[in-house]
Amino acid sequence: MKPICLIVLLLGAAAAVSAQPPRSYPVLGRIVREDPRLDELLAPDAKIEVLAAGFEWAEGPVWDRKGGSLLFSDIPKNSIFRWTRERGIELFLKPSGYTGAADYGREPGSNGLLIDPQGRLILMEHGDRRVARMEVDGGKITLADRYQGRRLNSPNDGALKSNGDIYFTDPPYGLPKQWDDPRRELDFCGVYRWSNWQLTLLTTELSRPNGIAFSPDEKTLYVANSDPKRAIWMAYPVKDDGTLGPGRVFADVTSMVSQDLPGVPDGLKVDARGNLWATGPGGVHIYAPDGKRLGRLDTGEATANVAWGDDGSTLYITADMYLCRVRTKTRGAGW
């Protein structure tokens, strides 16, 4: 048993247990430094702090600037939780991604979360197989659930462009039997753009498209492929009309998957300097814009996703059962 388990916040099946934050937080994993440039991004004494634990599979974090809180999904629990420094963990929304009555597999809930400039929460919903938005009155509307009349697989993660367009990935992970599920209606896993109620398919070349984020100038779209047989991050040029040009492999970590390092390319974010912070085998990989890996936040866990928060310089991390953070010397793109 890991020592950290002694201070785990135990969560019930239906709701989280609120708790006052401790004066200090336990530390998870280590920081692996591979290039001197990492010192410009992380202080020598930077640590991966654990804020809460006990989740089934934490995912899709997003910082709510108006509320001063972090929202994140627990997909198996079909729930979204909220963390604040003052109150700790609270249940924010349940159900979050599946509103049906029957059992719907292991991952029915919401996954990636976004907040638009109007403060509305945008959800990638596994079970209901849609991209949805919570309105100001608390109700939800469907933004996209079909492509050319066929239901989406299970929207996974999204990136919000400054003009309001939503780019998102659609692998089969939310289907009860994933790719082999008889309910699957599409014979590909796509990357899409939602713009003014129109859905455009951008590429089908990735077997398991997952995390997605723009470069600071929005001229490049990064997409993770969470296939252990082709564990890569792609970089696509974004054309003036919002579609994508031919992509290139930005980084390939397929060899690391076979090294017993937990995780595959999953969620990712970009900082204001264009560095990529991408979850993959062995934690969070940090890449310079030129594709050189500078280091890794080695959580020791399968790490799902990241988000910038606070004043934009704190990186929040969802890693299996843990919610973590690390203080940085940079800021997220758009802060």
Residue 6 has pLDDT above 50, yes or no: no
297: nearest Cα among 315, 285, 281, 280: 285
Alpha-carbon distance of 110 to 94, in angstroms, equals 10
Alpha-carbon distance of 194 to 32, in angstroms, equals 38
pLDDT in tens, 211-265: 999 999 999 999 999 999 999 999 999 999 999 999 999 999 999 998 889 999 9
What confidence score (pLDDT) does residue 16 get? Answer: 39
Percent of the chain at pLDDT > 70 equals 93
Q: Where are the domains of the chain?
A: 3-327
Residue 9 has pLDDT above 90, yes or no: no
pLDDT in tens, 113-163: 999 999 999 999 999 999 999 998 889 999 999 999 999 999 999 999 999
Name the one residue in this structure whose structure tokens are 């009309």: 241
Average pLDDT, the chain: 93
Confidence of residue 11 (pLDDT cuts 50, 70, 90): very low
Alpha-carbon distance of 26 to 101, in angstroms, equals 39
The superfamily CATH assigns to domain 3-327 is TolB, C-terminal domain (2.120.10.30)
Alpha-carbon distance of 248 to 179, in angstroms, equals 25
pLDDT in tens, 187-199: 999 999 999 999 9
Residue 22 has pLDDT above 90, yes or no: no
Helix (H, G, I), strand (E, B) or coil at 255: helix
What confidence score (pLDDT) does residue 232 get? Answer: 98
H or E, element range at 256: helix 254-257
What confidence score (pLDDT) does residue 163 get? Answer: 96
Beta-bridge mates of residue 58: 74
What confidence score (pLDDT) does residue 333 get? Answer: 98
Beta-bridge mates of residue 280: 283
